[in-house]
């Protein structure tokens, strides 16, 4: 089950943090939806690269975030993250919308915002340009080298996939609905 949950979400996190942002030791990385499918892998990848990691999630998921390696957990429901977070070098945003625009408020001048949208939303692009900041949209691509690196981290036990729930293939629509709720910690996996 874990192997099934790694490729797409893992490559998404890897390409955003490694290929685009080139996260390095000592940098500060903010991961939104840090307990989610992409977020929980992004946290671990950023930690494996030596970053200080901040994650947003509801307070009920904070213990999980700390288990994954988050240095600082922010409950986005009780306080706006932009008020709670000191400046960061990288923001990985799987949420989008106003979260992406608000993320610019915590970004260092040399930093980068990465949204998981193939095309950077116009509002985000305009807000970033107005502030002189870098923002990038991304869509995951096939990447054998990236998969090899993810497998290496998993073999070293520095990366683990949390499987929240499994669904038989014929219940794929139920899995989709569960994912849309935005309350899942980890990955939803279809079984064949």
Residue 190 belongs to a domain: no
Contact 98, 121 (CB under 8 A): no
Q: Which helix (H) or strand (E) holds 67?
A: helix 62-68
Picking from 79, 83, 114, 119, the residue whose alpha carbon sits closest to that of residue 100 is: 114
Model pLDDT, residue 3: 84
pLDDT of residue 161: 96
pLDDT score, position 22: 98
**The token pair that represents 137 in the structure block:** 């949209």
In a domain, 185, yes or no: no
**Domain total in the chain:** 1
Residue 90: domain span: 2-162
**Model pLDDT for residues 22-45, shown as the tens digit of each residue:** 999 999 999 999 999 999 999 999
- Look over the chain and give the mean of its residue pLDDT values, rounded to a whole number: 95
Residue 121 is assigned to a structural domain of this protein: yes
pLDDT at 38: 97
pLDDT at 184: 87
Q: How far apart are the C-alpha atoms of 78 and 133, rounded to whole Å?
A: 27
Task: Kindly provide the residue ranges of all beta strands, DSSP E only, lying in 13-142, ordered along the sequence.
Answer: 28-31, 52-56, 72-74, 88-93, 107-115, 134-137
What is the domain-level CATH number for residue 81?
3.40.50.720
| pTM score | 0.95
> What's the pLDDT score for residue 39?
98
Cβ neighbour number for residue 143 with a 10 Å cutoff: 15
The model's pLDDT over 60-111, given as tens digits with 9 standing for 90+, comes to 999 999 999 999 999 999 999 999 999 999 999 999 999 999 999 999 999 9
- Mapped onto helix, strand or coil, the DSSP state of residue 153 is helix
């Amino acid at each position: 089950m874990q192997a099934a949950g790694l490729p797409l979400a893992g490559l998404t996190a890897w390409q955003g943090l490694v290929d685009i942002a080139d996260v390095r030791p000592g940098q500060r990385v903010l991961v939104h939806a840090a307990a989610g499918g992409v977020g929980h892998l992004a946290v671990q990848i950023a930690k494996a690269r030596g970053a200080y990691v901040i994650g947003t999630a509801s307070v009920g998921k904070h213990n999980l975030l700390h288990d994954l390696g988050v240095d600082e957990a922010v409950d986005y429901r009780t306080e706006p993250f932009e008020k709670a977070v000191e400046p960061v070098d990288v923001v990985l945003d799987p949420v989008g919308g106003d979260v992406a625009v608000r993320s610019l408020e915590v970004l260092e001048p040399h930093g980068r915002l990465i949204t998981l949208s193939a095309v950077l939303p116009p509002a985000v692009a305009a807000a970033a340009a107005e502030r002189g900041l870098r923002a990038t949209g991304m869509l995951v691509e096939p990447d054998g080298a990236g998969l090899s690196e993810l497998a290496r981290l998993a073999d070293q036990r520095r990366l683990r996939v949390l499987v929240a729930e499994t669904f038989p293939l014929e219940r794929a629509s139920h899995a989709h609905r569960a994912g849309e709720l935005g309350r899942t910690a980890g990955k939803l996996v279809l079984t064949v």
